Amino acid sequence: MAVHLRLVDVVKRFGATTAVDGVSLDVEEGCFFTLLGPSGCGKTTLLRVVAGFHLPDRGEVFLRDRRITHLPPQARGTAMVFQEYALFPHMTVEENVGYGLRMRRVPAGQARERVRRVLELVGLVGQEHKYPHQLSGGQQQRVALARALVVEPEVLLLDEPLSNLDAKLRLRVREELRELQRRLGQTTLYVTHDQEEALALSDRVAVMNAGRVLQVGTPEEVYLRPRNRFVAEFVGMANFVRARWVGPGRVQAGGIVLRVGEGRTSGGDVLLAIRPEEVRVRTEPGDGGPNLLQGRVQSVTFLGPVRRCTVETDGLRWVVDVQPDVRVEAAQEVYLEVPPERLRVVEEA
Amino acid sequence: MLAGRVGALVPGVEARRQLADPGLALAFLAGAFALAVFVLYPTVRVLAYPSLQDYLSIPHSVRWVQAARNSLLSAVLSTTTAVAVGLAFAFATTRPDVPGSRFFRAVALLPLFAPPFMVAFSYILLFGRQGLVTRHLLGLDVNIFGPHGLWLVQTVAFFPLAMLVIVGVLESISPSLEQAARNLGADDWQVTRTVTLALARPGIAGAALVVAISVLADFGNAVVIAGGWPLLATEAWFRMEGMADLRGASLVVAMLVVPTTALFLLERYWVGRKRYTTVTGRGGRLERPPTYPPLKWASFAVCGVTSILVLLVYLGVVAGAFTAVWGRDWSFTLDHWRLAADRTPSLWASLRVAAGAGAVTAVAGILLAFLAGRPLPLRRALDFLAVLPGALPGVFVGVGFVLAFNRPPLELVGTPWILILALAFWHLPLGYQAAAAQLQQIDRSIEEAASNLGARGLHLLRDVYLPLLSRAFVEGFTVSFVRAVTNVSIAVFLVSPGNVVATFAILNMIGNGIWGGAAALTTMLLLVTFAVLAGARLVVGRALRPAGVG
């Protein structure tokens, strides 16, 4: 696939703070690309650099082969859905959606037809003459999306568009958004701090922190093979084990020797990560196997889909999830089975 | 609907519970009584004074038709230019990329502190027959007296009111709307036209209404500079002063109060609701897109020229106070200050009256705001009467108090109290709204916590509200004081030989051509004004400004 949007070493500073610190990214045509990170990580700033609201202090922005780094927002062919929607309160739904076409001097008849089609697409037929304040939050969100889609942008930009919706509606709109994006093959750059949203929607995810991109990959890649501690922690919670290599595929942590799927022979310290649901909990030792640890349950919290337990084994603390029908109680003796292939080596930073 | 009406008149359960508290019931009666006597009664008295015959004869009186027509004309002209200039200032001061943005905001507030005749007086000194600028710098022979002079003066005097209203609207427009427009392909001019100005339209309409009220009610500037051009606001005083024609005076102010009240109600109940609220949470931290260059420079030019005119208002008066004989002998002198010093009794009278008016306004404002916020009977009527004086021109209030209190049971004419009470209740909306704004900020849970712990009725006011409302008191007092100390429109009707206030003395000096003395006394008034404002700023921690009907 051809690269549609390319960022090369983009830096954006506000006074003394560096909001975006040397980001390079390639977004392929038709790709749903998500910038994921905590608030203040620079993801929205980066989106605004692409939209042209901020000029970068360094670096370049390309749409296909066209350098757009210094073009004003109105000349870029990027359309944005704002977090707070930014619907024009003095215009009807139809006027809001048709605004971009009016600015592009699309003939009235043609514009009306395009507005009608996009309203059909987002399911707002019949609401044309209402004002934004007469619509529900979900409807306002659709108007914002329709207003951006109708101009057939090169790249669609979305800034946490679901954050103002209630939890149920958010799920539904999420699915619709995904389906619509696939159907239109619309190249999309999406910003969110919600890892679940990012995993569910995206073709590719870039995890950001402190103005830098830490890892880019498919949702599976960032979830299953986080490259460093921050990514592992931010994309789902993880247990971290600080250990030392003692041989090929073997590390020592506390008083235990663990087998690790990834072999490395040289010595030195290493950080390992594993998710709570990947550790298996048994009440009996069974037939043993690699990495079977005896421990004692410290606490149990019922979370609905799972019971989350903290278990202590020889000076190591593990957070593990068990099925809710498995009875586990505090102070109980249990055995933890830690699959070697799931113990991943991650970087500290 | 019917049940609602009845509920408003017959105290409901909640209201009865409130009134069962003797302190609260007493406060309610006092508040209602004060409003009835000092707001409602004078108003009714004016309107009922002329006979139906008198009202019907209005169209046949050439003089009154002319005055009405002139008032209307000056309202249209001055409002248009004042709003246009106010819009330019609002635009410039909400856009940091317009050069001088902060300077313009500071300058634009200056006319609000000037006594209501000062712009006219200063422009006579600068641009009149003997004008420093027109005659002595440019060598022109200009007659500034008349409608054209009034137009210029009112534009400069009232554009700040328009600016304040429009600034409020422009600031509430989220930058993300402008960004969304640009993002959708609008260029700078299109963003301004289709988003910024389109959203500001209700604000501009509101500004026009506020300015029009002030122009119609403007007495100070009109009496100084309109010359022989009859206007409703000045006609009332000429009737009283020259002919002791109470009937004519009340008829004229009744004619004046119709349009001002209509504009006031329109502003309050129609434009006030039509405003688009664009408060959308996180928008504030975004930067505004750059301003369309031609617009940027156009507003810069308008603001620049107007700022010079504003600064000249102050310079002209101060220069007048130190110049031997204006127009003939430009040497420096302190003689006028000696003359002004002879009038210090009037300055003291002004301070006494203003302090009394300020205190009454502040106390009544807090009490009424507290009452209007509880589920009491007639609370909407209380609210309406508390804001109504904002619709009444000063001359109307002046005539109203003369008619209402020139005979028993409440014969106040000839005492300083009549002026104090007239000014206090005329400024009531300022104290009331300051207190109401503070009350809104007091979380209801604070009150609930207090009553949960056993505080009831007036104890709530004393223990919970008063400490929190001391700020509202200072605000209400200051704004009322500053406007009272510079007032002429009411003072001219209510001063008595023993109680001549400074503004009245100044007006007489200007009328008699004693310009130097008038300038010196005006400068002293300005010093008092700014000293009080500076003191209030120390107490409140925020700059206050008097604004409203002239």
Residue A19, token pair as written in the block: 């909001």
Mutate to test the interface with A, among B184, B291, B292 (most CBs of A within 10 A): B184
How many residues make up chain B in this entry? 550
- Chain A residue with Cα closest to B185: A74
Note whether B484 and B112 are within 8 A (CB): no
Instruction: Please report the pLDDT score of residue B454 as a whole number.
Output: 64
Distance CA B430, CA A50 (A): 49
pLDDT in tens, B474-502: 888 988 999 999 999 999 999 888 789 99
Q: What is the mean pLDDT of residues B236-249?
A: 86
Q: Where in chain B is the domain with CATH 1.10.3720.10?
A: 21-50+347-498, 61-315
Note whether B519 and B125 are within 8 A (CB): yes
Position with higher pLDDT, A262 vs B294: B294
**With a cut of 0.90, is the ipTM above it?**
no
Q: Backbone phi, then psi, for B285, in 5-degree steps?
A: -80, -10
Chain A residues with CB under 8 Å of B286 CB are: 53
**Which among A51, A82, A103 has the least Cβ separation from residue B185?**
A103
Q: CA separation (Å) from B57 to B64, B252, B253?
A: 10, 12, 15
Distance CA A50, CA B296 (A): 27
Q: What is the mean pLDDT of residues B340-355?
A: 89
pLDDT in tens, B40-52: 999 999 999 998 9
Query: Alpha helices, DSSP H only, in chain A?
Result: 43-51, 93-103, 108-121, 137-149, 167-184, 195-201, 219-224, 229-234
- Chain A residue with Cα closest to B283: A84
Distance CA B112, CA B548 (A): 9
Query: Average per-residue pLDDT in chain B?
Result: 85
Q: How many other C-beta atoms can be found within 10 angstroms of the C-beta atom of residue B9? A: 9
The pTM of this model reads 0.80
pLDDT in tens, B297-315: 999 999 999 999 999 999 9
**Which among B176, B185, B277 has the least Cβ separation from residue A100?**
B185
**Which has the closest alpha carbon to B494: B413, B393, B392?**
B413
* A268 — pLDDT class (breaks 50, 70, 90): confident
HEC per residue, A183-232 = HHCCCEEEEECCHHHHHHHCCEEEEEECCEEEEEECHHHHHHCCCEHHHH
Distance CA B187, CA B189 (A): 6
Residue B175 in contact with partner chain A when CB distance is under 8 A: no
Q: What is the CA radius of gyration of chain B?
A: 24
pLDDT in tens, B90-107: 999 988 888 998 899 999
pLDDT in tens, A193-215: 999 999 999 999 999 999 999 99
What's the CATH class of domain B21-50+347-498?
A: mainly alpha
Residue A160, token pair as written in the block: 């946490």
Distance CA B66, CA B147 (A): 13
CB contact under 8 A, A83 and B174: no
Q: CA separation (Å) from B70 to A192, B221, B373, B488?
A: 63, 15, 42, 21
* B547 — pLDDT class (breaks 50, 70, 90): low
Grouping H, G, I as helix, E, B as strand and the rest as coil, residue A80 is strand
Element containing residue B100 per DSSP (H, E): none
Per DSSP, the residues of A216-283 read: EE-HHHHHHS-SBHHHHHHSS--EEEEEEEEETTEEEETTEEEE-SS---S-SEEEEEE-GGGSEEES
Indicate the CATH number for domain B61-315: 1.10.3720.10
